[in-house]
Structure 1
Amino acid sequence: DPCLALCMCGNSMSAPLPAVVPAARKATAAVIFLHGLGDTGHGWASAFTGIKTPHVKYICPHAPTIPVTLNMRMSMPAWFDIYSLNHDADEDASGIKRASENLKALIDHEVKNGIPSHRIMLGGFSQGGALSLYTALTSQHKLAGVIALSCWLPLRNSFPQASACGANADVPLLQCHGDADGIVPVHFGRQSVEKMKSLINPANITFKTYRGLAHDACPEEMVEVKRFIEKQLPPI
C-alpha cells in the first residue's frame, strides 16, 4: 500500500513498505511496532510471527535513513536524530514530533481500513519504544495499549505533571527492560515509568525487568508481550 510508505516518511523520499504479519483470519485488531536505531522492521515481524494471535495484524514499519549525530552523522535507519545517550542530553524535538505525526497518520490509515483505534496497540523497542510512548501521550486516538521495550520517554519535560493525557489517560502500558542494558540503562526505564505514573493511570502500568538481559529482547519477555496483546485485544 503506497499510502503506508508515504505516511511513515517525514521527507519526500518514501520509506520502504512496512513488514506486515497478516492476521490468520479477518483482522479485527492491529499492533504497530517500531524497531530500534539502525534496524529494520523485518526482525520484529519475524518475532511476532512466533507469538501471533489469529485475529491480530502486526505492522512493523521501517524508519527512514537519516544522518544520526550519535553515529558521527553517518546515515542509518532512525525515527529521529539522537545527539547523545546521556539522560539529560538535548533532544531532537522537531524530529520526534514529525515522526510522531507520521505514526499517527499510520494509525489513521488503519482506522480508515476498518480497525478502530481502541483495537490498535502501539509498541516499539529502544528508539521505537520511545516514539510509541510519546505518540500515545500526544494522540487524539484512544489506543488499546502500549508496549515499551528497553526504552525511555522522550521530551519528558514537555508533559504536565498532572494526569492529563487526553484520550490515553487510562491506556494500559507494558514496559520491559533488561537489568544489564549498557545502551539504555535500566534506570532510564525506571525513571520513565515513574514519569508515566504521573501522566496515565498508574494502575494500568506494568514494569518488568529481566536479569542479565542486555539491550535486547528475550523469550520470557516475548511471552509477556503475547499475554499483554491477548488481554488487551481479545477476539470480538
Structure 2
Amino acid sequence: VKWICPTAPTRPVTFLCGTQTTAWCDITGISENMEDDMVSFNSTAAFVVNLLKDEPGNGVGGIGMGAAVALYSASATCYITGREQTIGRLRTIVGINGWLPAWR
C-alpha cells in the first residue's frame, strides 16, 4: 500500500476570523447553504490530478476538507493549462466528515 498525504498550503480562513492555517480552500461559514470557494477547489483539484496522474487508480480519500477535495477532484474535470484532465479510473473514493463541493 502506498500512501500519498499532501499538506494543504497555509492561507487565511474567513470562518476562523482570518487565522492563517493549512487549508485547501477558504471556508466562510458552516451550513447547508454555504458558498464553496470554487477557485480554490479547482486549483486544488488540478494539483490532485497532477499528483496522481502516474499512480494506479486504487483510490483517493480524505478527512474533512480533504474529503471534500477528494470527492470534488474525483468527480470534476480539471483544466490544467487549457487541457482537459481527470484523475482517471478510480476504484475507490473515501470521504470522512466532508461534503461534496458545488453539489447545488
**Same-fold status (TM-score > 0.5):** yes
- 1:123 maps to 2:61: yes
Q: Secondary structure at the match of 1:156?
A: coil
* Cα distance in structure 1, aligned partners of 2:4 and 2:38: 25
| Aligned residues: CA RMSD | 1.2
Q: Which runs of 5+ in 2 are unaligned?
A: 78-85
2:101 & 2:11 partners in 1: Cα distance? 19
Aligned equivalent of 1:72, options 17, 22, 39: 17
Q: Distance in 2 between matches of 1:125 and 1:133?
A: 11
Aligned length: 95
Equivalent residue number for residue 36 of structure 2: 91
Structure with max Cα Rg? 1
Between 1 and 2, higher relative CO (CA 8 Å, sep ≥ 6) is seen in 2
The 2-side partners of 1:147 and 1:90 are apart by 23
Structure 1 residues not aligned, in runs of 5+:
1-55, 158-236
Q: 89, 95, 102: which is aligned to 1:142? A: 89
Summarize the alignment of residues 75-224 of structure 1 with structure 2, pairs less than 5 Å apart. 75-108=20-53, 111=54, 115-116=55-56, 118=57, 120-139=58-77, 140=86, 141-157=88-104
The structure carrying a bigger helix percent of its residues is 1
Dislocated runs of 4+, deviation >4 Å: none
